[in-house]
């Protein structure tokens, strides 16, 4: 894939340079104008679209823009050197040829650049807001604009190569359906977020699982309720999915507070016989001392104001059962210690837990970069919200260890920012996790 992308860049660079500096050729032979126009069309409309395995339209456009910008980057530097030599030559025998040639050169690169930059800005996921802003600010500053463009190209090139490889892998193993478990999968969200039609709580993970044969359903419960109330909603949802699919049981993957909600449903609401497995992701099984501190230290008036604002906002969107204070109170260290005594590990259900930790606060997106230090002060290593000591539960425990200096945050584990993290492919992690369930006959 890298070689094919490189070949595409080289070809388009040659064509871009040829068009940009073709005035002298056209002036002496009018037939070259046809070649120049043809080359200009090929560069601006076909760059990056002919590389195999790019069947995703968004990614294909992103790759198109990446090839265009790469061609622009090289061609503009070589053309600048060429134009300097022409300028020195034309000072001896001056005519308007150089001016026309320079205008064509600027116009060609202008079109190629804006075609490419619009494509990557509109379609790249990995660029993010920060790099986009850097590109805009540095765009009109000489030298700095080339540095910014290099950063953009590095990001989008890596994205295209990575995503193309994933598409290729999924295509090759499509018939194997390595995630086609015996029972459907119910994905349960955590607190203060919920599944929506336009923004999936689990990012790109569900699509990756479905591409490998999984049948996915969602909890669709309230974003902020007590564990008992959320468990009641999830019990109803479990029955709905079983009725819809005709399955005898479900596999549940639950994130954060969702893991506690599910444990309550299995142990207290007699749902264990309807669940084959429960996998908790970064769930605070032993609670959060940080939550105890906040509830005890923040003035009652401020707590009520925040809670009322949150609850009233959600009620406007139809979530009548929102209860901010109950949700937070149920995550405290003291509450979870009591809860663990009341919720034994359900018999006949494969139970496992997964956790991760950040290496340093700056690697977590807001507000995790802020809460990381507070949680570390009270409980040690953490993912930005939950301490490592609180994750372990069930018969199998997996800790995602930090990759180099970065680590994996609470949000990274659900692909919240849709970020491709070096050393940790979150989508492939879930594919392997669900494949393991399949291998266990679940």
pLDDT digits (tens, 9 = 90+) for 367-416: 787 788 888 888 889 998 899 999 999 999 999 986 677 889 999 999 99
CB distance 157 to 69 below 8 Å: no
Q: With 0-12 CB in 10 A as exposed, 13-18 as middle and 19+ as buried, what is 301?
A: exposed
Rounded to two decimals, what is the model's pTM?
A: 0.87
Q: What is the pLDDT of residue 97?
A: 73
Give per-residue pLDDT as tens, 121-166. 999 999 988 899 999 999 888 889 989 999 999 999 999 999 988 9
pLDDT at 52 over 70: no
The contacts found for 247-250 with CB under 8 angstroms, 24 or more apart, are: 247/183, 247/184, 248/183, 248/274, 249/183, 249/273, 249/274, 249/275, 249/276, 250/183, 250/184, 250/185, 250/186, 250/217, 250/274, 250/275, 250/276
CATH 3.40.50.1820 domain range(s) in the chain: 176-439
Residues in the chain: 442
Give per-residue pLDDT as tens, 34-44. 888 888 888 88
pLDDT at 92 over 60: no
Least trusted range by pLDDT, from 198-212, 278-292, 298-312: 298-312
Q: What is the CATH number of domain 176-439?
A: 3.40.50.1820
């Amino acid at each position: 894939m890298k070689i094919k992308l490189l070949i595409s860049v080289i070809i388009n660079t040659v064509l871009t340079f040829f068009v940009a500096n073709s005035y002298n050729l056209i002036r002496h032979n009018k037939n070259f104008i046809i070649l120049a126009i043809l080359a200009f069309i090929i560069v601006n409309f076909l760059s990056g679209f002919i590389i195999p395995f790019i069947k995703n339209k968004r990614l294909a456009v992103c790759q198109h823009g990446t090839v265009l910008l790469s061609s622009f980057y090289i061609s503009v530097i070589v053309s600048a050197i060429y134009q300097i030599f022409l300028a020195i030559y034309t000072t001896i025998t001056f005519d308007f040829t150089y001016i026309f040639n320079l205008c064509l050169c600027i116009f060609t690169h202008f079109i190629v650049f804006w075609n490419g930059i619009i494509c990557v800005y509109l379609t790249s996921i990995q660029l993010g807001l920060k790099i986009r802003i850097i590109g805009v600010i540095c765009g009109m500053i000489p030298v700095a604009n080339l540095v910014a463009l290099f950063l953009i190209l590095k990001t989008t090139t890596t994205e295209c190569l990575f995503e193309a490889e994933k598409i290729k892998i999924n295509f090759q193993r499509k018939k194997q359906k390595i995630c086609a478990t015996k029972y459907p999968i119910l994905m349960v969200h955590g607190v203060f977020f919920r599944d929506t039609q336009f923004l999936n709580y689990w990012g790109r993970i569900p699509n990756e699982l479905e591409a490998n044969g999984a049948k996915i359903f969602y909890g669709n419960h309230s974003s902020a309720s007590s564990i008992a109330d959320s468990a009641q909603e999830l019990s109803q949802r479990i029955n709905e999915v079983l009725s819809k699919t005709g399955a005898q049981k479900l596999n549940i993957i639950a994130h954060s507070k969702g893991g506690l909600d599910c444990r309550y449903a299995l142990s207290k609401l007699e749902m264990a016989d309807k669940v084959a497995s429960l996998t908790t992701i970064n769930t605070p099984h032993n609670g959060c001392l940080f939550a105890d501190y906040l509830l005890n230290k923040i003035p009652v008036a401020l707590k009520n104001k925040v809670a009322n604002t949150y609850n009233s906002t959600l009620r406007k969107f139809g979530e009548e059962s929102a209860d901010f204070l109950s949700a937070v109170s149920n995550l405290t260290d003291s509450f979870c210690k009591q809860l663990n005594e009341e919720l034994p590990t359900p018999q006949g259900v494969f139970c496992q837990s997964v956790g991760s930790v950040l290496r340093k606060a700056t690697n977590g997106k807001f507000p995790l970069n802020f809460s990381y230090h507070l949680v570390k002060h009270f409980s040690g290593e953490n993912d930005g919200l939950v301490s490592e000591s609180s994750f372990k539960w069930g018969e199998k425990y997996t800790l995602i260890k930090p990759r180099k200096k970065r680590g994996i945050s609470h949000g990274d584990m659900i692909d919240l920012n849709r970020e491709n993290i070096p050393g940790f492919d979150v989508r492939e992690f879930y594919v392997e996790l669900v494949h393991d369930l399949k291998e266990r006959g679940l």
